[in-house]
Amino acid sequence: MVCLSEQRYKGNPFRRVSYIPPIDVILSVAFKQTKNLRIKSSKRRISREEKIANLERERISTLAMVITEKLERIINQFPWIESLHPFYGEICDLMGNIDKIRRILGRLGGIENQIKELERDHIARLKETKHPNEMAEIRNQSNGRMASLLKKAKGDVNYLIRVIKKLKTVPDFNVNYPTVVIAGAPNVGKSSLVIEISTGKPEVGEYPFTTKKIIFGHRDIGMTNIQVVDTPGLLDRPFRDRNLIERQSIISIRHISDIILFMFDISKDATISLEEQFNLFEDIEKEFPNVLIIRVLNKTDLLSEEEIIEGKKTLKTQFQITIKDVNSLQGLIEEIEAIVKNSVLQTEKFKEILKLTVSKEFLQPVEEEINYEF
């Protein structure tokens, strides 16, 4: 029977899955333990045949025990599929296949039960003979059938090993944190912005698709953290035509965003045209009508004053920034923090799930400055 752990994990639930041994390793360990077994001395006087029967019984039980314990450990390590956060559920489906994983875990549970049944059957057969050679033959038959049964799961276990290795690379996403997703075309400056406004340290390069996978950073605002997500570059084409990196971005936006920062680049270094960037923005805006989107014009250090004014007017950007001047980011950071604080105080999502105890200091309104000059 499959008994998956139902414990909820705030971060990447697949990171708590430890080593999954291949089938050959499981068999090698199991047979090594049975090989080391010897006839035990007994306080009461028993015949040689009884001693041999006890030894063969212990060998069969030990082999079954080691195999079933290894299988049970594999099964129980996996997070409860039905309780996965939608973000990790879809990521799992992209990098592997949730239904296939569920079927594999079910089959491993079935093999575990069959191994136990083989153990019972062959131990019962030992009681029917007094001949050492026949006992050894029964044990050999048991070993062969258990090994043969386990080898049928070789492909399934290898699949789990490959999938879990990929799933562990997905960064920790804490479902309790308000999340800001940074989106935009390749090389628009998303990674650099994450570095500046959070603790995230993604690689920054001078080529498209710098960020090879979703990266998470955090910004502490006192009573909670803001989670900042740096997505891979999004290209302007239908979802069905996108590659794995682009699909990860869309999934992150769909399931974990409270705010989307959409970054535009109209400088000479832009990797795709302004029209393509705007089409991408409209595509995201239509797909996520209930998510607040803040438009940001980046790389203003490469633009003239006239270009900045024209870009702001055309794209209706609320903030014009350059990563090279941290002062230009201050207004954007303050806006993000204000929106998040307001959401935490007013949105049931955070009141119910977080069960926050908000400090008086956090709730203290900004006092108006009083002019005492007459």
Residue 2 phi, psi dihedral angles, 5° rounding: -75, 130
Percentage of residues in the chain with pLDDT exceeding 90?
45
Residues near 72 by Cβ (< 8 Å), separated by ≥ 6? 3, 112
pLDDT of 52 higher than 80: yes
Q: Nearest 10 degrees: CA dihedral of 151, 156, 158, 160?
A: -140
Q: How many CB atoms lie within 10 A of CB 277?
A: 23
184 forms beta bridges with: 263
What number of CA atoms fall less than 13 Å from residue 274's CA on the CB side? 11
Q: Which helix (H) or strand (E) holds 126?
A: helix 98-126
Res 307 pLDDT > 90: yes
Question: For the segment 101-115, what is each residue's pLDDT rounded down to a tens digit?
Answer: 999 999 999 999 999
Phi/psi of residue 265, nearest 5 degrees: -135, 110
In contact, 265 and 188? CB cutoff 8 Å: yes
**Structure confidence at residue 81 (pLDDT):** 78
pLDDT digits (tens, 9 = 90+) for 323-366: 999 899 999 999 999 998 888 777 776 664 455 444 444 444 44
Give the whole-angstrom CA distance, residue 334 versus residue 228. Answer: 14
Location of structure tokens 């705030």: 10
What is the length of the chain? 374
- Domains present along the chain, CATH in parentheses: 13-167 (1.20.120.1190), 179-356 (3.40.50.300)
Taking a C-beta distance cutoff of 8 angstroms, is the pair 200, 218 a contact? yes
What's the pTM value of the predicted model, to 2 decimals? 0.76
How far is the first Cα of the chain from the last one, in angstroms, to the nearest whole number?
82
* Residue 225 confidence class, pLDDT cut points 50, 70, 90: confident
Calpha distance 74→335 (Å, rounded):
46
Nearest to 177 by CA among 212, 114, 219: 219
Each residue's pLDDT tens digit, 183-204: 888 889 888 898 888 876 665 4
Residue range 1-31, pLDDT digits in tens = 333 333 344 678 888 888 999 999 999 999 9
**51 or 240, greater pLDDT:** 51
- Rounded to the nearest integer, the mean pLDDT of the chain is 82
Mean pLDDT for 129-156 is 96
